[in-house]
């Protein structure tokens, strides 16, 4: 498996648990597994098998969560969880066989029979799965989710009891903006400034100053003990098949964000990564071409069942004025809580699809019709400017 991010790490763990007889190499260019990220999810996102897969990890958990918009504040009852990449890395090193983890190993090329590392070493394999993250493409359309997060140890208790999933009462600057808040302890808090914007531009100085201002207004002062930034694609359409043909290698399976196995509107990946991990582990005897076919069918299924989310994203980016994009989410969070939970889990019912899209008039109809006649903005940028999902 090439790529030691969320998808690769969970797949290696699933194989260790369900098929400890299978020899596995998890090849990662960086020095740690999972990079520098934080993944979060709702309890309802995971079925019992996926919950069991996540049990070894040290996670934060909260009873309920909150959203804030200019017109209202709402508390939701769903339990919420979060996993830091440092805990992800530590747990995998504890549970995986020592010979499985190959960090600090940049890959030169992959093929159906193995992996060539930079420096000349080759690892042969019966099956190869490429999980190296999203690859920018002129065949895909959409926008970008840009964020900067900061982990603070406050000099006194911050008083926040539950996560704030979206605080959209902040000034809207060039796109849908919200602040995400996780109380990690009485004197620890994670604060992230997030934007749904047209260009993949991350202005570190500006975002840092806005985080300073947000924390100052709430009296949160203290020491920064961690930070992260990211630029993630929000895929709203395009020619998926052409994109995958462009990056495919014969006999090599694609999974994770590289195969577009991600929530197209929120960029949530953990529930889908866990689903893929168990699928691979339950079919671990397949040869490379058969594994590639299995995962291609799985990725197509995810793409098909999330089509209406791409439609909603298309309206968000191409019909709503940037400063009014928040209205789409403001309306969405007035819907029944069960629908909201299924939305994040990417398991909508037919009724959910209708309810999410019906009455979108936060977006003017004339702008919506005009947007639907256009294909959207290309997601073709140099890959080094994107962050792994």
* pLDDT digits 0-9 by tens, 157-202: 999 999 999 999 999 998 899 999 999 999 999 999 999 999 999 9
pTM attached to this predicted model: 0.92
| Block residue for tokens 């596995």 | 24
**Which of 305, 321, 356 is where one domain is finished?**
305
Domain assignment of residue 1, yes or no = no
pLDDT score recorded for residue 324: 87
Domain assignment of residue 386, yes or no = no
Instruction: Specify whether 247 is located in the same domain as 129.
Output: yes
Residue 152 sits in a domain whose CATH number is 3.30.9.10
**Which of 305, 323, 348 is where one domain is finished?**
305
pLDDT score recorded for residue 387: 40
Domain assignment of residue 209, yes or no = yes
Instruction: Specify whether 106 is located in the same domain as 36.
Output: yes
Rounded distance, CA 17 to CA 92, Å? 12
Instruction: Specify whether 13 is located in the same domain as 97.
Output: yes
Instruction: Specify whether 101 is located in the same domain as 164.
Output: no
Residues 6+ apart with CB under 8 A from 184: 60, 82, 151, 190
Domain assignment of residue 245, yes or no = yes
Count the neighbouring beta carbons within 10 Å of the beta carbon of residue 53.
22
Instruction: Specify whether 222 is located in the same domain as 365.
Output: no
Residue 293 sits in a domain whose CATH number is 3.50.50.60
Question: Which is it for the CA torsion 214, 199, 39, 208, positive or negative?
Answer: negative
**Contact criterion met (CB below 8 Å) for 241 and 163:** no
* Per-residue b or e along 14-52, where b marks 16 or more CB atoms closer than 10 Å to that residue's CB: bbbbbbeeeebbbbbbbebbbbbbbbbbbebbbeeebee
**Contact criterion met (CB below 8 Å) for 362 and 320:** yes
Instruction: Specify whether 293 is located in the same domain as 337.
Output: no
- Please state the domain count of the chain: 3
pLDDT score recorded for residue 373: 52
Instruction: Specify whether 128 is located in the same domain as 15.
Output: yes
Domain assignment of residue 389, yes or no = no
Instruction: Specify whether 97 is located in the same domain as 170.
Output: no
Domain assignment of residue 199, yes or no = yes
The pLDDT tens digits of the residues spanning 54-80 come to 999 999 999 999 999 999 999 999 999
Rounded distance, CA 128 to CA 145, Å? 30
Per-residue pLDDT of the chain (389 residues; tens, 9 = 90+): 999 999 999 999 999 999 999 999 999 999 999 999 999 999 999 999 999 999 999 999 999 999 999 999 999 999 999 999 999 999 999 999 989 999 999 999 999 999 999 989 999 999 999 999 898 889 999 999 999 999 999 999 999 999 999 999 999 998 899 999 999 999 999 999 999 999 999 999 999 999 999 999 999 999 999 999 999 999 999 999 999 999 999 999 999 999 999 998 988 899 999 999 999 999 999 999 999 999 999 999 999 999 888 988 888 888 778 888 898 899 999 999 999 999 998 888 989 888 887 755 455 555 554 655 566 788 886 544 444 33
Length of the chain equals 389
**SS3 assignment, position 171:** coil
pLDDT score recorded for residue 371: 54
Domain assignment of residue 317, yes or no = yes
pLDDT score recorded for residue 383: 43
Instruction: Specify whether 284 is located in the same domain as 225.
Output: no
Instruction: Specify whether 13 is located in the same domain as 105.
Output: yes
- For 198, the token pair is 């047209």
Beta bridge partners of 154: 222
Instruction: Specify whether 53 is located in the same domain as 161.
Output: no
Instruction: Specify whether 200 is located in the same domain as 153.
Output: yes
**SS3 assignment, position 36:** coil
Phi, psi values for residue 376, rounded to 5°: 100, 170
Q: What is the domain extent for residue 357? A: 308-380
CA-closest candidate to residue 178, choices 200, 196, 202, 160? 196
Domain assignment of residue 295, yes or no = yes
**Which of 274, 305, 336 is where one domain is finished?**
305
């Amino acid at each position: 498996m090439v790529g030691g991010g969320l998808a690769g790490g969970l797949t290696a763990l699933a194989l260790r648990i369900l098929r400890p007889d299978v020899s596995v190499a998890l090849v990662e260019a960086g020095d740690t597994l999972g990079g520098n990220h934080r993944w979060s999810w709702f309890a309802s996102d995971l079925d019992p098998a996926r919950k069991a897969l996540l049990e070894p990890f040290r996670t934060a958990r909260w009873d309920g969560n909150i959203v804030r918009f200019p017109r209202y504040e709402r508390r939701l009852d769903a339990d919420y969880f979060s996993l830091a990449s440092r805990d992800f890395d530590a747990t995998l090193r504890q549970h995986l066989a020592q010979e499985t983890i190959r960090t600090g190993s940049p890959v030169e090329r992959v093929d159906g029979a193995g992996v060539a590392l930079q420096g000349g070493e080759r690892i042969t394999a019966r099956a190869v799965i490429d999980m190296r993250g999203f690859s920018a493409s002129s065949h895909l359309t959409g926008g970008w989710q840009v964020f900067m997060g900061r982990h603070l140890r406050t000099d006194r208790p911050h008083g926040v009891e539950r996560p704030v999933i979206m605080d959209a009462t902040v000034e809207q600057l060039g796109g849908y903006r919200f602040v995400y808040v996780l109380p990690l302890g009485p004197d620890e808090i994670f604060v992230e400034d997030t934007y749904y914007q047209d260009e993949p531009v991350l202005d570190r100085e500006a975002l840092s100053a806005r985080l300073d201002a947000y924390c100052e207004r709430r009296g949160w002062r203290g020491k920064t003990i961690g930070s992260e930034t990211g630029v993630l694609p929000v895929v709203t359409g395009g020619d998926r098949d052409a994109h995958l043909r462009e990056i495919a290698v014969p006999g090599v399976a694609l999974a994770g964000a590289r195969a577009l196995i991600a929530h197209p509107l929120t960029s949530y990946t953990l529930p889908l990564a866990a689903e893929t991990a168990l699928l691979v582990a339950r079919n671990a005897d397949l040869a490379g071409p058969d594994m590639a076919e299995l995962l291609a069918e799985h990725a197509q299924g995810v793409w098909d069942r999330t089509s209406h989310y791409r439609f909603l994203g298309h309206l968000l980016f191409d019909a709503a004025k940037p400063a009014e994009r928040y209205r789409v989410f403001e309306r969405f969070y007035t819907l029944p809580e069960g629908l909201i939970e299924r939305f994040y889990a990417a398991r909508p019912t037919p009724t959910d699809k209708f309810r999410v899209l019906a009455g979108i008039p936060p977006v003017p109809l004339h702008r919506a019709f005009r947007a639907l006649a256009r294909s959207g903005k290309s997601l073709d940028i140099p890959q080094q400017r994107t962050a792994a999902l």
